[in-house]
Amino acid sequence: MTAIVWQLEWRIATARRRLFVINVAVPLLLVLPVAMGAAPAVHAAAVYAVLFAIFSTFGSAIPLVRDSESGLVARVLRAGVTPASYYLQRTAAGAVLDVLQLGPALAVAAVGAGAGPRPFLVALMALAATVWVANLVGVLVAAATRSLAEAALFSAVVTLLLLHASGVFRTPVPESFGAAVESVAPFRALHEALLSMSLMTPVTGGAALGVWCVVMVVATGVLGGHLPGSLGVSGKS
């Protein structure tokens, strides 16, 4: 079977141009005052990291739960698309769309930080890998929850915990337990790349992020169709 879900998601995105424009404008409006203000680099990087990660997790989980509640997901899976294929194609399209929608905000953040092209490109790559992971986190959140409200709550909790584990909200303490966790956390690379745009500090979380990209694909493929949440096709009514 060809990538019909990927094609479907792009067709839906182009049919909803107004939503696309809103999804570009809102991050821009949130980033603009921080980038153009006098916020310290560590604070600005934390704001951007939270915004980008939550944007992707929510943007993946909420529509998926909505489509599950309406019966669309069950219809697509019943029609012949396997759960793993459906979630991964949908996530791939969602991640690329997220990069397109968050890219302008990242560019504004880079201009505000006075970053050159190289730190910006590093941050853009980190953003692309991070939204891929965050979108897959959203799929698993959707699979583990039973309503839009639960999905919103769990998306926020999981994303904020992962951001915290990635060192976004704390001052690094070398060789501490927190530092050990941070070294393998998924959003560390994005945070470091955002900091690097201002401070020119090294970006070291790339390898961990790469592993997360693969681990989350496997986790989504294995768990996506089996968790007893809103995506479960067979269940009581």
Among 29, 36, 78, 214, indicate the residue that binds other proteins (CB under 8 A): 78
Sign, CA dihedral 148-98-161-198, equals: negative
CB of 44 to other proteins, least distance (A): 36
Element containing residue 124 per DSSP (H, E): helix 117-144
Cβ nearer to other proteins, comparing 80 with 117: 80
- Contact call for residue 40 and other proteins (CB under 8 A): no
Binder among 15, 21, 214, 215 for other proteins (CB under 8 A):
15
Q: Which residue has the tokens 């980033």?
A: 31
The residue within the footprint of other proteins, chosen from 16, 43, 118, 226 (CB under 8 A), is: 16
End-to-end CA distance of the chain: 31
Give Cβ neighbours of residue 190 (< 8 Å, ≥ 6 apart): 49, 52, 53, 123, 126, 127, 129, 130, 166, 205, 209
Q: What is the CA radius of gyration of the chain?
A: 18
Binding residue (CB under 8 A) for other proteins from 29, 36, 72, 215: 72
The one among 40, 79, 114, 172 contacting other proteins by CB under 8 A: 79
Cα 200 versus chain centre, distance: 24
Toward other proteins, which CB reaches closer, 68 or 196? 68
176 lies in the binding site for other proteins (CB under 8 A): no
Is residue 208 within 8 Å of residue 190, measured between CB atoms?
no
Asked whether position 76 contacts other proteins by CB under 8 A, the answer is yes
The contact set with other proteins (CB under 8 A) reads 1-2, 4, 8, 11-12, 15-16, 70-72, 74-76, 78-81, 233-237
